[in-house]
Amino acid sequence: MSDLIHRPRRLRRREPLRALVRETRLAREDFVLPLFACAGEKVRREISSMPGVHNLSVDEIAREAVAAYESGVRSVILFGLPESKDETASGAYARDGIVQQATGAIRREVPDMIIVADACLCEYTSHGHCGVIRDEEVLNDETLELLARTAVSQAEAGADIIAPSAMMDGQVGAIREALDENGFEHIAVMSYAVKYASAFYGPFREAADSAPAFGDRRAYQMDAANAREALREAELDFTEGADILMVKPASVYLDILRTLRERFDLPLAAYHVSGEYAMIKAAAAKGWIDERRVMLETLTSIKRAGADIIITYYAREAIRALSE
């Protein structure tokens, strides 16, 4: 007879037992699906480094939102590729801007969809930086005014949540104040509070045509080596009135997610970014990994680390896998 008392294997014997003691469960409500709106009509252009993700004209994005809703997606986050770009990113805050139009179209077709609008300038500036430039420097306070205008125009178009991602100091406060002054005190702000200067954004920059024409984003996005600074960024955004905090990217920053979960009581989002998606897709296409299992394991680990909300290009596939 063995003198083993504790045998963790007792609860692993069969799937129903494992399910009974499972600590982390993914649900369809956890996911936010990113969509890319572009000019034109009947445009559905696949992004080569992101299989299954497309640039969609306004008519197509509305159809995509209907299909996503029917497959269980309850939230989308919108990005825009404007027809033309300029120094002051005027496409970001135009009344008939591409994201504003897409928001209206999705709201009409799927009234219950939660629409998150990404508030940044990089998709709309001719130089691809997230703010206004002078002498190759991104100007902070001048950019805040434009981000605030962008947020108000997105709220006017019908967005439920504004998600500032430019990493300008004070952007949450500036947006909160502008929303309140314009009668949008009920519109929430999901702050990209902790956004690292990451090589994992590569495929997104193809999708959004937003690679910087010179330099990089290290003068405003965070250094990958810093964890204490993440707490300072989160604290500032909390103080400025953020309703939801976000960490981005997700799977290589799980320690940061865990720390934020322990230190803040706001809902916490994680952005499983384009490069994280593309790596799984590429390895799966080679037949080197089991895509479904790697996807679910990755998304589960993001939730286990502390995320309540997961923004991922896998939203539809994950929801489908959950119901199988």
Q: Which residues are catalytic?
A: 195, 248
Among 187, 273, 307, 309, binds ligand PBG (CB under 6 A): 273
Among 116, 130, 234, 250, binds ligand PBG (CB under 6 A): 130
Nearest to 140, CA basis, from 97, 89, 174, 179? 174
Nearest to 123, CA basis, from 220, 210, 203, 38? 210
State how far the Cα of 313 lies from the Cα of 174, in Å rounded to an integer.
29
Span interacting with ligand PBG, options 197-205, 230-238, 279-287, 291-299, rule CB under 6 A: 197-205
CA 137 to chain centre: 26
If you search the block for the tokens 């384009």, which residue do you land on? Answer: 274
Taken in order 93, 95, 101, 105, the sign of the CA dihedral is positive
Does residue 238 touch ligand PBG according to CB under 6 A? Answer: no
Does residue 49 touch ligand PBG according to CB under 6 A? Answer: no
Among 73, 274, 280, 281, binds ligand PBG (CB under 6 A): 274
Nearer to ligand PBG, 15 or 139 (CB): 139
At closest approach, how far in Å is the CB of 5 from ligand PBG? 48
Does residue 201 touch ligand PBG according to CB under 6 A? Answer: yes
At closest approach, how far in Å is the CB of 7 from ligand PBG? 43
Token pair in block for residue 244: 């939801």
Span interacting with ligand PBG, options 95-103, 198-206, 225-233, 297-305, rule CB under 6 A: 198-206
Among 60, 118, 160, 317, binds ligand PBG (CB under 6 A): 118
- What residue is closest to ligand PBG based on CB? 204
Please name the residues in contact with 80: beta carbons below 8 A apart, sequence gap of 6 or more.
36, 37, 38, 91, 92, 97, 98, 99, 102, 123, 124, 208
> What is the Rg, in whole angstroms, of the alpha carbon atoms belonging to the chain?
20
Q: Which residues bind ligand PBG (CB under 6 A)?
A: 118, 120, 122, 130, 165, 201, 204-205, 217, 273-274
